[in-house]
Amino acid sequence: MYDGDQVPEEHFPALLAYLEGLRGRARELTLQKAEALMRELDQAGADTQDPPLRAKTQRVRQVLQLLS
């Protein structure tokens, strides 16, 4: 869901709306996976000039903000 090739930018808001409705274990698991990915991206230096990596980081941040 964080890859622009798998979920195009025009569909990402719909995905966020779907994720907003998650409850219980599904919400917890999605949040845990997003947190783990964010840690990986931070360790890898995701603030590089690589546009796809920056876009992925931005999507992870949006999911974290939504579910936190």
For residue range 1-54, what is the model confidence (pLDDT) as tens digits?
999 999 999 999 999 999 999 999 999 999 999 999 999 998 877 656 788 888
Mean pLDDT of 58-66: 97
pLDDT of residue 61: 96
Q: Which two tokens stand for residue 46?
A: 């995701």
- Higher local confidence (pLDDT), 52 or 62: 62
pLDDT of residue 49: 74
Q: Which long-range contacts (CB under 8 A, 24 or more apart) does 51-58 make?
A: 52/4, 55/4, 56/2, 56/3, 56/4
pLDDT of residue 8: 95
- Give CA–CA dist 49/23, Å, rounded: 35
Contact between 60 and 38 (Cβ < 8 Å): yes
